[in-house]
Chains A and B, each alone.
Chain A
Amino acid sequence: MAYSDKVLDHYENPRNVGSLDKNDPQVGTGMVGAPACGDVMKLMIKVNDNGIIEDAKFKTYGCGSAIASSSLVTEWLKGRTIEEAYAIKNSEIAEELALPPVKIHCSVLAEDAIKAAVADIKAKQAAKVAA
């Protein structure tokens, strides 16, 4: 499999690997998996009171393209609002990393991880309002 330079760069120097405190009310967690390849991805975002993503961390067990996709989105997420984050499309990720068709599912995984993390933080915020 010939990886693009951008994939290799993220794969060899992944940005923002790690975890945030999952019990922090400002932290949303998204966990997704791709049965096609058995990849698992965890994305955590820290959102401030203005709805801006201050920090993002990921942990991905999978192929180079899955790692690069999640590394790339953690860079993109910082400074964006959760609405902007939610609007990120897998096609943008695939295009940026020049993913071949067989690896498109890795970018789908990253998009779904963002959506899951945003849904989690929204659920936390709603629970806080209700409390």
Chain B
Amino acid sequence: MQSTPINYFKLFAIAEQFELDVASLESNFRKTQSANHPDRFVSAPASEKLVAMQLATLANEAYSVLKSPAKRAKYMLEQHGIDAIADTNTAMPAEFLMQQMEWRERIEDAKMARSITELDEIASELKLETNSLINKLHELLDIKKDLASATAVTRKLIFIDKVCADIDQVIEQLDD
């Protein structure tokens, strides 16, 4: 199984494109999980148990990648031999990094001021930015097939995802 990696889109029988067929992904994911559920293999030979477990694990991993726009885009680029997050590439557009710094500083200030309102405001700005990047990725990956530009947008989306995760964490801390 390791030697020929299974394509995540094919695993769930959905079109290999950025614009996701969510309904088919959800229903085929559930089917795969139930077909490979350990309960079904209680009295099965060890080799079958192992295969079922491996398939369930693979389906989990594939599902989590396809569900996340940033991970899905990164995965699609990987299929074309592009590593969107290569360590050696730290150059990002200056204005994008400035914006990142600004968001980070505002989160820090809002955290100090314990202002959930301000954090929600930043989160909604990030949501807008996320949506605009997702629209761009659909255009670049599915329509224009412009992988170089798609790589740049994917990198931005990964940064935004990280800021969103950090905001959620701060809001959770303040809620406690």
Contacts and interface: CB of A to CB of B under 8 A. Distances in A.
Contacts of B94: 31
A32 B100 contact: no
A61 B101 contact: yes
Contact of B98 (A31, A37, A104): A31
Contacts, number: 53
Interface stretch (A6-14, A67-75, A77-85, A105-113): A105-113
B161 A105 contact: no
Interface in B52-105: 84-85, 87-92, 94, 96-98, 100-101, 104
B161 A40 contact: no
A108 B158 contact: no
Given A38-B162, A61-B104, A31 B97 contact: yes
Contacts of A35: 84-85, 89, 92, 155, 158-159
Tell me whether chain A's interface is mostly helix, strand or loop, or mixed. Answer: mixed
B147 interface: no
B57 to A, nearest CB: 22
Contact of B87 (A40, A61, A105): A105
A33 B100 contact: yes
A127 B96 CA distance: 24
Interface centre among B87, B104, B161, by most chain A C-beta atoms within 10 angstroms, is B87
A33 B87 contact: no
B101 A36 contact: no
B101 A31 contact: yes
Nearest to B92: A33
A42 B104 CA distance: 12
Nearest to A59: B101
A112 B97 CA distance: 14
A33 B96 CA distance: 10
A105 B88 CA distance: 8
B159 A108 contact: no
A112 B161 contact: no
A97 B147 CA distance: 37
B88 A40 contact: no
In the A-B complex, the 3 residue pairs with the smallest Cβ-Cβ separation, listed nearest first, are A38-B162, A105-B87, A31-B97
